[in-house]
Amino acid sequence: MLSREQELELIDVLRGVHPDEFGLDEELWTRQSLTTLIQRRFDLPLDAGAVGAYLRAWGLGPREPRERACGLCVSAVERWVRSEYPAITRAAQEHLAEVYWIGRIRLRGTMPAADVISAVSSRGRVRFMITTPTVDPPLPRDFVLRLSGEEQRTVHLIVDGSWPRNEWPRRLPRRIVLHPLPSCGRVIAAA
């Protein structure tokens, strides 16, 4: 296992960089690319389950849609899941696309503070990047484009209340379809 000092160093190393900058064949960080980086950086062989435990401790992983809503929006999200979400999954199947749920969380106990922007596929695959938080940061265009990958796959992205719609990237390629999760406009601070 990583020591707390190694974990904090790892978070700092990941801040603002992507796996391809380390010669890894991934657009965004995944459990596999993180496992490889830990092996290289700390000469510490961890299995995928141990690295997955770190990701879960950081707040990354599958969450129910209601967990992505502020308390005031839970019933709206539940209605949305019944009425809108089935059409999104059908459209994704027609385009052979993947559906990702995008959100942002603040990692606790890091100095300076760190935000993790993550996308969790409907199959449970986690892709993420770590940033230094700024006041009202927009949804990073680079992150959204990297989800589509070099192959320029079609992706449907469900964006939680971490970003208001006016903070979403503009003029995205048609292969990237953004869908808002119902939100009352309050920024969600998930843990």
155-159 β-sheet, strand order: 126-131, 114-121, 98-107, 155-159, 176-180
**185: pLDDT confidence band, cut at 50, 70 and 90?**
low
Residues 82-94, mean pLDDT to the nearest whole number: 95
**190: pLDDT confidence band, cut at 50, 70 and 90?**
very low
The residues that bridge with 179 in the sheet, in sequence order, are 158
pLDDT at 4 over 60: yes
**Distance from C-alpha of 28 to C-alpha of 25, rounded to nearest angstrom:** 9
Who's near 165: CB < 8 A, 6+ residues apart? Answer: 180
Burial of 135 (0-12, 13-18, 19+ CB in 10 A): exposed
pLDDT at 186 over 80: no
Residues 39-61, mean pLDDT to the nearest whole number: 92
Residue given tokens 């995205």 in the structure block: 172
Q: What is the value of pTM for the model shown? A: 0.89
Give the domain ranges of the chain: 4-57, 65-180
Structural element, H or E, at residue 183 = none
